[in-house]
Amino acid sequence: MSSQTVLHFVQNAVLPAIPRHAQFSGTSTTTPAYPRTDLNVIEEWVDFPKAVLADRATLSKSLFQKAIFTPETPVSTEANVHAFADCTLHQTLTSILGALGKPGYKIVDIGGNKSVVADPDRILIHGEKPILTMEFKTPWAFPKQRGIVWTYQDSQPTSKVRRAINQIYGYMTFNQHRYGVLTTYEETYFLQRQWSEAGGRLQIAGPFSYNKRTPFTVLEAYTTLLLLCIDKWFYASPTTSPAPSRSGSASASPSTSRPSTPMPYTLTDVDIRDVTFIKGRDRSRAGAVVGGTFRGENVIFKIVDDTKNSQFATELDNEVDHYRALAHLQGRIIPRFLGYIRVWNMLRILVLEDCGLPVKKSGLTGQLMDECLACLRTLHQCGIIHGDVHMGNFVHSPFSGVRVLDFGFARPGTAAEMEEELNELTRDEE
């Protein structure tokens, strides 16, 4: 294959069509919750075409040699759409950035990445740092839009368009991303988050179709967006509260009243200004575990994304119930419970005292192991088994010693089950 400039490639290449299966997964989108953000101004991103034109001089200076891979496996689910885009589009964009002297940037799923807040479908990373948020909908479930700004402004809060835009805007905000992507693969929108005195402000460019060259191919538009992102991806989280709903009903906007301390063991809506996400600690099967501050106190957030993984809410509810039942052990062998909160009707969060870092087998001493076993025995004395015991569910700091956490599977247990759980922890040491 002969070389060509990046500009020639992106201006002439169109993406392959999705080979649709005869039966699809359904017409519902993966946004079961109704996000209620502070987004108040939504408008066309009128400067985006200028940025595309300005990049053409740069794209014309670099050579490129790559063909777009076309999978043939029929697509029937949103996960299939993700995989198809990974093969056709995302790998191609990584190669384009490499040709432009921007190596090391990849579009990937969030699996194993502990730096992402919530559960967007794809992220652009450099190393482990996420710098762009991407959200997919299936082309058969999310309708084509020719005026998405107008549709958003004219639709009800429960409409697919409003839910999708508020969802991606929320992901961008929680991760402090300036730019985002909302796509069905066949139609793609690019988003820029900005500040306004009236609340959140979002600019949208598109749609860019997978198989059209006007006004730009989706590859040329994507290339410009990624270059913008690489140059300046960070945008601070908002300092405004959610705006009132269009209907003005009390139930349409979360309560932001400040409950007395300590907070109740019931799910409480809070102002996003009370929450600061600082550093990812872990990514569990249920979602992100993030260090940050809550109303000025250093805490750990255990997060379930209600727009994606509401099935894990039951585990988080069970955990909260056990923190209530074991209140006399808080600050002794388990962390202090600091709140069970919800942000923007998107994130369900258990807020806990920061008790240090996970106990690692590589640094495990006899004394640490004895402390872990002592925590577990104290839990058993209350008639409770942990249900998922392993070294990763113990944390330690020089100031507070060892704490046991993660009670999503905790329940009353028998003496035999308690003995087996102690043995299981001992085996995990080996």
Tokens of residue 304, six digits: 């379930």
Structure confidence at residue 251 (pLDDT)? 33
Write the CATH number of the domain with boundaries 357-429: 1.10.510.10
* pLDDT for residue 94 is more than 50: yes
The answer to whether 20 touches 215, Cβ cutoff 8 Å, is: no
Q: What is the dihedral of CA 246, 251, 257, 262, to 10 degrees?
A: -150
Q: Which pLDDT tens digit goes with each residue over 300-338?
A: 999 999 999 888 999 999 999 999 999 999 999 999 999
Structure confidence at residue 362 (pLDDT)? 81
Buried b (16+ CB within 10 A) or exposed e, 378-413: bbbeeebbbbebebbbbbbeeebbbbbbbbbebeeb
Domain ranges in the chain?
Answer: 4-231, 261-353, 357-429
Write the CATH number of the domain with boundaries 261-353: 3.30.200.20
Q: Which pLDDT tens digit goes with each residue over 100-119?
A: 999 999 999 998 899 999 99
Q: Which pLDDT tens digit goes with each residue over 367-423?
A: 999 999 999 999 999 999 999 999 999 999 988 899 999 999 999 999 999 999 999
Confidence tier at 270 by pLDDT (50, 70, 90): very high
DSSP letter string, 124-165? EEETTEEEEEEEE--TTTS---S-HHHHHHHS-TTSHHHHHH
> What percent of the chain stands above pLDDT 90?
75
Structure confidence at residue 32 (pLDDT)? 59
Confidence tier at 173 by pLDDT (50, 70, 90): very high
Structure confidence at residue 28 (pLDDT)? 56
Q: In whole numbers, what is the pLDDT of the chain averaged over residues?
A: 89
Structure confidence at residue 284 (pLDDT)? 85
DSSP letter string, 347-412? EEEEEEE---EE--GGG--HHHHHHHHHHHHHHHHTTEE-SS-SGGGEEEETTTEEEE---TT-EE
* pLDDT for residue 260 is more than 60: no
Q: Which pLDDT tens digit goes with each residue over 337-357?
A: 999 999 999 999 999 999 999
Mean pLDDT to the nearest integer, 357-367: 87
Structure confidence at residue 31 (pLDDT)? 55
Of 245 and 285, the structure prediction assigns the larger pLDDT to 285
Report the distance separating Cα 351 and Cα 336, nearest Å: 9
Confidence tier at 288 by pLDDT (50, 70, 90): very high
Confidence tier at 269 by pLDDT (50, 70, 90): very high
Mean pLDDT to the nearest integer, 90-100: 97
131: exposed, middle or buried (C-beta count within 10 Å: 0-12, 13-18, 19+)?
buried
Confidence tier at 26 by pLDDT (50, 70, 90): low
**CA 104 → CA 22, 53, 122, 129, 414, distances in Å?**
38, 25, 16, 11, 52
